[in-house]
Amino acid sequence: MIEQRVASLERSVERLDFKVDRIDEALKRIEEALKALADDNKSFSISLAGIRENVAHIDGRLANIPTFWQTLALIATLLIGIAGLIFTASRFLHP
């Protein structure tokens, strides 16, 4: 009777050993995949930093573009200045 129980326990332990070996292999594959994922994450972070830098550069450039009203005021000022020059020149050059 004890021999049968021991034999049954040995078979159970063999199956458990097989399952533990499979779990160990799976954990090794998971560890390798996580390392690869961490490496990919580092390269992604580096490229993301480059994109952030480009967006900040574009944002700075867009902030320097004059608005409609600023452009209108600049053109009006130039036209008034040109009109003043023409008026002054016509006063001096008039016979």
What pLDDT sits at residue 74?
96
Determine if the pTM surpasses 0.95: no
In the structure encoding, which two tokens stand for residue 72, read together? 């209108």
Instruction: Verify that 70 and 47 share a domain, yes or no.
Output: no
* pLDDT per residue as tens digits for the range 52-61: 999 999 998 9
Q: Which domain holds residue 90?
A: 66-95
Together in a domain, 5 and 21: yes
3-state secondary structure of 76: helix
pLDDT > 80? residue 94: no
What are the tens digits of pLDDT across the range 42-53?
888 888 888 999
Same domain for 43 and 4?
Answer: yes
Same domain, 47 and 73: no
- Taking the C-alpha atoms of residue 32 and residue 4, their distance in angstroms, rounded to an integer, is 42
**Based on the domain organization, do 73 and 39 belong to the same domain?**
no
